[in-house]
Structure 1
Amino acid sequence: MDGKKYDILLLGSTGYTGQMVLEYFLKNYQRGISSGEVKLLCAVRSTKKLSDILLRIKEKEAITCSEKIEAKQCDVGDYDSILSCCRMCRVVISTVGPYATYGYNTVKACVEGNCHYVDVCGEHTFMLSIHKEFNEIAKEKKLKIIHSASFISAISDLGTFIIQEEFLKRYKEPCPYIRIRLSAEGSELRTVGKTTIRSFLQFRKDVQNGYHEHYLCDGKYDKVVNDKVSSYLQEKEKKKKSFFDYEEEFGYCFGTVYSRAEEAYVLWSNYLLNYRYGKSLTVSYQQYDAHLTTPMYVLRKMLSSVKKVFSSVVAFALSPFGLGDYLVGKYVDWLHTPKTATELRRAFWACTVVGQSCVGVSSSSEDAKGGKGPVEGTHPKSGNQECGNQKSGNQESVNQNSGSRERKIFLHLSGKNEDPGYLLSAKIISESGLSLLESNLPDTFGVLSVSVGLGQVVVERLRRASLGMRIEV
């Protein structure tokens, strides 16, 4: 890639998420952009619209480097147009969705134009098709095609990466059970973008009823669970499936519309790593509300059930005519107004990733040795550690009745002055794009997840970018 004129090509920089990515670069990398250390090219349909956006950001944030941003007119629907841009850049950051509609040309141009690619895509049908077509040639050319560098998937993926590496370092084996718990506190300050709605509808239309936890692995995931691991995991999953899904550390928990996608993405990473985290790995993604009372929880569950039944009836009634998704997709601009970036800066978020196992229970495919399956122990004694500056300690909680010991490691992730959906995604994809310029990345190529392609490099960049990371053992 030597001799390329630009470091990063921004696609979609006049769109909803793309503007936040552009502003993130301008605010956080003024010095590098001004000095020419970071060279950005924005490929847009309207250079006039980009100029207006740059002027607004300059006046609002007192940015001094906006004149260093170069623009090129481009149509992502025109392959030659996008290819000419990719030939000039080392890394492409794309926020142009739905990806099933606009993503193929971009990935193909990146492979032909010899540049890395990263997006915020959550459309698993698109991701799987890209993997099937471009994985081998990207490997041959030593290119990284990275999907889902966003709040959806990347936080779960990187959190699991950190937890598993900690388990491997401390105990010489991975943990078989990962819980990812997103706090519902502050959810009223969050939003959903219009393209996100369109992407979700497109994904639902494409995948229909064929989605499962190993979807991204094309059904090739080799899950092996020995008896002791099975007993341990069954006990953990029993709570999740019960009506009262209450966890001592978090309170009442409930699934989200994207829980299965989060879990599938983490398992995809494990698959790409040739089961580094073991073939019995089980992932559970839920939201929790620490302030929710039991009566309110019951009411919420009942309303959720009624809503599901109503939605199913409506969907069934409209499905022969294809009207449901059509009406929402066609009139989303009229029906929905997402919050602005300024409004989203009032938001905050917190997510905890918990890795846990029982002594004598490994997530490897071999038979584990040890005692009977554990009963949920008490919260382990805590010792707070900054990620990357960790010390040893006692991570085992003992159940006095059974005598079994359970190991737990908590990773607390958090952010202020940003919502987890869009401002955080802008941070993640920006730092992921910059990570692709570094020389100390994992020696992995092809179509990849964030953790597999970027590893510790992006973790450290995000930590320096004020993404809160704290390990509790």
Structure 2
Amino acid sequence: MDGKKYDILLLGSTGYTGQMILEYLLKNYQERISSGDVKLLCAVRSTEKFSDILLRMKEKEGVTCSEKIETKQCDVGNYDSILSCCSMCRVVISAVGPYATYGYNIVKACVEGNSHYVDLCGEHTFMLSIYKEFNEIAKKKKIKIIHSASFISAISDLGTFIIQEEFLKRYKQPCSYIRIRLSAEGSELRTVGKTTIKSILQFRKDVQDGYNEHYLCEGKYDKVMNDEVSSYLLEKEKKEKSFFDYEEEFGYCFRTVYSKAEEAYVLWSNYLLNYRYGKNLIVSYQQYDAHLTTPMYVLRKMLSTVKNVFSSVVAFALRPFGLANYLAGKYVDWLHTPKTANELRRAFWTCAVVGQSYVGVSSSSEDANGGNNPAEGSHSKGGNQERKIFLHLSGKNEDPGYVLSAKIISESGLSLLESTLPHTFGVLSVSVGLGKVHGSLARAGKVKNQTPKVPKVSKRKKLTGRAKKRQLYNRRFSDGTGRKKGPNSKL
């Protein structure tokens, strides 16, 4: 790879997510790109459109290294065109989706052109087919193919990696139960892109009812049950079936449309690592709302149930005619408008990863405060003590789905460029390939033993009697901001 003309090839740089990746690289690595330390090539279909995007970034974001970006016309539908681009670059970052439609030729070109590959893909049917066909070939050629370097999967995967490393360091054994909890606060500021929706529709069409948590492992996952894992598994299943899903640390919790995919990706990492986290690992991914009251939770749960039933009936009715995906795709093309990058920079996110397991009392592990006391809320079982470790991750001025994903895949591409990875794998997950690199960055979230505090909903005391009369009297002489009004007020 040392003889390559360029370091990084960015595919899809004029697309929705691709523009955010390009902007992140230009803003955060201006000096390295300007000096030629990182040579960036953008393969585009329209050079005029790309020039307009660069000009806009230069004017609005103050990017000064845009003239150092090389461009090359490329048709992602033509294999020879893709191969000519991939052959010139050491690392290929692909933001061209849906991956089931365009991804195969790009991966094949990377393997033939001897280039590392990283993408944002969450389509597990595509990932599994790539693993089956190219894993051994990539391993022999010493190149890496990394899927899902995005918020979806990567945060869960890297969070699990950090928690497990902490458990092995402190207690000399892996953690058997991982809970990943994403806060719903700020979700109204997030968005879903058109290509993401199309990828979900394609994935559902391909996999149908054959999907489970061990899908990426080809059904070869060697699961071992014991009393501890049985109790955690029972707890997880009970929560999923129960109408009320409440956790003391977080509040009311919900499953999401991508919960199964998140859990399957983490288990795939464990499978690739030859069960480094143990064969009894249980993973639970949910969203939580710490501010949700019980009446609102009941209403939301009922509306969600009605929506799911209605969607299932419509999908069942349209399935014989093959219209469900067709109509959904047309809706995405004609009516769906995702938020702009500037709008997404007003967003924020918070995520917690909790590892818990029963550890022998005799172990000399210390808690976060340096003592030998167990973590908050721990209890004994069969002579063992349950230990919990919390990892808190958060971000401001970025939505998790796209702006953060642009950051993750950009850093992954640069890490592939600079890091020497073991040749044990060809196709692999983010944590297996880049866990130690990304893990050092993610530790800014601090690994703790303490239970996170859940903010309580502030309730105003209802005024009665003289206090109520005083409040009404004061309102007559002040506006909504508290300023006095009336003939005697100061202007």
Establish whether TM, by shorter chain, passes 0.5: yes
Are 2:396 and 1:416 aligned? yes
For 1:13-43, what per-residue CA distance to the aligned partner results, in whole angstroms no more than 9, with x for missing partners? 0000000000000110001100011110000
1:390-417 deviation line (CA, Å, top 9, x unaligned): x786454443899762100000011110
Change (3 A) 1:334 1:230: same
1:472 aligns with 2:452: no
Q: Find the residue that maps to 1:197 and give its secondary structure.
A: helix
Q: Distance in 1 between matches of 2:428 and 2:6?
A: 23
Alignment partners' CA distance in 1, 2:371 and 2:4: 45
Residue pair 1:8, 1:93 contacting (<8 A) in 2 also: yes
Tell me what 1:227 maps to: 227
In the alignment, the residues of structure 2 paired with residue 43 and residue 272 of structure 1 have an alpha-carbon distance, to the nearest angstrom, of 32
Cα 1:83–1:296 change in 2 (3 A) is same
Contact 2:58-2:66 within 8 A present in 1 as well: yes
Take 1:186 and 1:247, find their aligned partners in 2: how far apart are those partners? 20
Matches within 5 A, 1:71-82: 71-82=71-82
- CA deviations over 1:406-448 (Å, ceiling 9, x no partner): 1000000111100010000000000000010123434543110
Q: Is the 8 A contact 2:182 2:288 kept in 1?
A: yes
Q: 2 CA distance for matches of 1:400 and 1:262?
A: 30
Separation in structure 1 between the aligned mates of residue 422 and residue 402 of structure 2, nearest angstrom: 27
Given residue 69 of structure 2, which amino acid in structure 1 is its aligned partner? I
Alignment identity in percent?
Answer: 83
2:387 maps to 407
Q: Secondary structure at the match of 1:279?
A: coil
Task: Tell me if structure 1 keeps the 8 A contact 2:378–2:388.
Answer: no
Query: SS of the residue aligned with 1:435?
Result: helix
Bigger shift: residues 239-248 or 38-47: 239-248
The equivalences for 1:59-458 within 5 A come to 59-360=59-360, 383=368, 394-396=373-375, 397-399=377-379, 405-458=385-438
Q: Does structure 1 conserve the Cα–Cα contact (< 8 Å) formed by 2:149 and 2:412?
A: yes
- Structure 1 window deviating more from structure 2 (36-45 vs 351-360): it is 351-360
Matched-pair contact (CA < 8 Å) for 1:13–1:19 = yes
Query: What's the offset of the Cα at 1:232?
Result: 4.1
Counterpart CA distance in 2 for 1:236 and 1:122 is 24
Residue 375 of structure 1: aligned partner = none
Structure 1 CA distance for aligned equivalents of residues 298 and 382 of structure 2: 32
Instruction: Give me the whole-angstrom Cα distance separating, in 2, the residues matched to 1:247 and 1:237.
Output: 14
Please tell me the residue identity of whatever aligns with 1:72.
Answer: K
TM-score, length-scaled by structure 1: 0.91
How many pairs were matched up?
446
241-250 vs 440-449, which moves further = 440-449
Deviations 1:68-109 (A, max 9, x none): 000000011111111111111000000000000000000000
Contact 2:380/2:386, CA 8 A, preserved across alignment: no
In structure 2, how many angstroms separate the alpha carbons of the residues matched to 1:439 and 1:450? 13
Aligned letter for 1:408?
K
The question of whether the paired residues in 2 share the 8 Å contact of 1:444 and 1:452 is answered with no
Give the drift of 1:383. Answer: 4.1
Please, which moves more after superposition, 75-84 or 240-249?
240-249
Alignment check: 8 A CA contact 1:42 1:70 kept: yes
Task: Indicate conservation of the 8 Å contact 1:11/1:42, yes or no.
Answer: yes
Secondary structure of 2:230 counterpart: helix
The 3 A distance-change label for structure 1 pair 356 and 317 is same
TM-score, length of structure 2 as denominator length: 0.87
1:359 counterpart SS class: strand
Counterparts of 1:303 and 1:439 in 2: how far apart (Å)?
49
1:360 is displaced (CA, Å) by: 4.4
Q: Which amino acid is 1:334 matched to?
A: W
CA distance in structure 1 between the partners assigned to 2:65 and 2:48 by the alignment = 18
Whether contact under 8 Å (2:358, 2:381) holds in the other structure is no
Give, in angstroms, the shift of residue 228 of structure 1: 3.6
Taking the aligned partners of 2:138 and 2:263, their CA distance within structure 1 comes to: 25
* Higher mean C-alpha deviation, range 287-296 or range 311-320: 311-320
SS in 1 for 2:445: strand
Q: Distance in 1 between matches of 2:378 and 2:152?
A: 34
> Contact between 1:178 and 1:356, CA under 8 Å: does it hold in 2?
yes
Structure with bigger gyration radius? 2
* Cα distance, 1:472 vs structure 2: 1.1
> Partner amino acid for 2:256?
T
- Residues 1:12 and 2:12 are matched in the alignment: yes
Deviation at 1:236, TM superposition (A): 4.8
How far apart, in 2, do the equivalents of 1:383 and 1:172 lie? 16
Deviation (angstroms), 1:332: 1.2
CA contact (8 A) 1:414 1:468 kept: no
Change (3 A) 1:172 1:51: same
1:46 partner amino acid: S
Unmatched tracts of structure 2, length 5 or more: 450-491
Aligned equivalent of 2:458: none
Distance 2:428 2:382 in 1: 42
Kindly indicate whether the alpha-carbon contact (under 8 Å) linking 1:410 and 1:472 is maintained by their aligned counterparts in 2: yes
RMSD: 2.0
